[in-house]
Amino acid sequence: MGHTEESSFYDEEGTYSSGGAGHNLMMNWLEASGRMGEVRRGDLIEGTIVSISPTEILVDVNCKADGIVSGRELERLSPEELAELAVGDRIPVFVVSPEDRDGNIVLSLSRAHSQRDWRRAQELFDSQAIFEERVSGCNKGGVIVNIGRLRGFVPASQLTPGTYENPKLAAGKDDDHRWEHLIGDTLKLKVIELDRNRNRLILSEKAAAREWRQSARDKLLSQLRVGAVCKGVITTLCDFGAFVDLGGADGLIHLSELSWGRVEHPRDVVEEGQEVEVYILDIDQEKQRIGLSLRRLLSEPWEEVVKTLSIGQVVEGVITKVVPFGAFAQIGDHVEGLIHISELADSRVNHPHEVVKEGDVVPLKIIRIDAERRRVGLSLKQAREDTDFDWREEYQQSLREDEAAEAT
């Protein structure tokens, strides 16, 4: 028994179907061609904008019915967001209801954005990835950073010390405005707490900075080479040297490597915030320490010392330091020699303070030059022996004048 044309249908793949009415045949064709998908409440899907009017947006979501974004839903969008929508655009939509009383699928754009943003926040939380976002606002407890439409909060305790406002600048400001200077700044952040049910999203700049810096330090340590020269910024001065930020890792210039001459404190040579070129002395990968030098990039004073000084020469020196075994004196620029306690005077000396004090200007005889060890041996007693009476009287007179000047 044959089939009539009205009650039979071959789809595009040649599959035979049969049914009662043309409407059923069309439904079969739609299902076979993938035009009839199923959606459920809460699904986040993509659709194509078919039409836009002031009261609704019609969206093709690849189902038997089109999706509708109602006018009430459109009121939740900003004018800027509405202006960006155009017929033919592919947009994410949230399924509010698979079918309303008119058979349409009820959709939401704002909830789609929220859903998408929460997914991104969850991915960032799960991966603990570092990301960058701009500060959009603040309150007395910290700053606000948006992830899409979500409001993330960075508590003050999770801001790095470098982002804190100078207390002097904060004077006179109430707590609600103390972080205003950060609005518009871009921060490196990590998600440290996420609770969608409580609409809670906590971010940390401190954790991101710590991890980023460790990553940058590892990378820098693998790239640096002993003997190389690089640029950095002085970050901290302490009694034993100066720390330099090399762009992800800190290196130390020891006090002895700041200058060829004696340095009492790093502030005599450098200051915080100063940009410097440094020489890489050593790298300890295990302890992640970098030794730096400034003086290695300065001309070697000993090259000039051997040209201008000679054993037996009498020169003028300034006592720079007095120690139990003698006194150090500077002769010329960046050159320091030692006057052993036995070379201070003809008579017995119990302590160098009996003969000289720091700041004294005295005649000194060069008795030894050790260029290899960069040391000069000096003698005060031999210089005085080689200096006539008139010179010594003149020297003593100058000391008395200095003392009188200090007294006034």
Boundaries of domain holding 286 = 226-297
Query: Distance between CA atoms of 298 and 291, rounded to whole angstroms?
Result: 17
Q: Which residue has the higher pLDDT, 66 or 378?
A: 378
Neighbours of 179 (CB within 10 A): 25
- 403 and 305 part of one domain: yes
- 146 and 104 part of one domain: no
DSSP percent split of the chain into helix, strand, coil, nearest 5: 30, 35, 35
**Does 361 fall in a domain?**
yes
pLDDT bucket at 243, cuts 50 / 70 / 90? very high
Query: Distance between CA atoms of 34 and 25, rounded to whole angstroms?
Result: 14
The residue among 164, 179, 210 that closes a domain is 210
The residue among 89, 108, 127 that closes a domain is 108
* pLDDT for 62: 86
Neighbours of 55 (CB within 10 A): 10
Query: Distance between CA atoms of 149 and 131, rounded to whole angstroms?
Result: 16
**Does 30 fall in a domain?**
no
Cα Rg for the chain, rounded, in angstroms? 41
Average pLDDT on 67-72 reads 87
- 64 and 135 part of one domain: no
**Does 220 fall in a domain?**
no
Query: Distance between CA atoms of 371 and 367, rounded to whole angstroms?
Result: 13
- 141 and 201 part of one domain: yes
**Does 8 fall in a domain?**
no
**Does 18 fall in a domain?**
no
pTM of the model: 0.49
- 197 and 267 part of one domain: no
Residues 77-96: pLDDT tens digits?
778 878 888 899 898 888 98
Q: Which two tokens stand for residue 255?
A: 């006090």
Residues 287-308: pLDDT tens digits?
878 999 998 888 776 776 667 8
Average pLDDT on 45-53 reads 89
- 347 and 378 part of one domain: yes
CATH number at residue 169: 2.40.50.140
* pLDDT for 406: 67
- 95 and 62 part of one domain: yes
- 305 and 403 part of one domain: yes
- 310 and 392 part of one domain: yes
pLDDT bucket at 270, cuts 50 / 70 / 90? very high
Taking 90 as the threshold, does the pLDDT of residue 223 lie above it?
Answer: no
- 173 and 143 part of one domain: yes
**Does 35 fall in a domain?**
no
The number of distinct structural domains making up the chain is: 4
Amino acid type, 325: F
Average pLDDT on 239-250 reads 88
Neighbours of 91 (CB within 10 A): 19
Amino acid type, 84: E
How many whole angstroms from its chain centre is CA 176?
Answer: 26
| Percent of the residues in the chain that have a pLDDT greater than 70, as a whole number | 80
Q: Is residue 117 exposed (0-12), middle (13-18) or buried (19+ Cβ within 10 Å)?
A: middle
The chain-wide mean pLDDT, for the chain, equals 81
Q: Is residue 204 exposed (0-12), middle (13-18) or buried (19+ Cβ within 10 Å)?
A: buried
Query: Distance between CA atoms of 265 and 132, rounded to whole angstroms?
Result: 39
Write out the H or E segment, with its range, that includes residue 10.
Answer: strand 8-10
Cα 309 to Cα 98, 226, 386, 387: the distances in Å are 97, 33, 17, 18
**Does 92 fall in a domain?**
yes
The residue among 240, 272, 297 that closes a domain is 297
- 314 and 392 part of one domain: yes
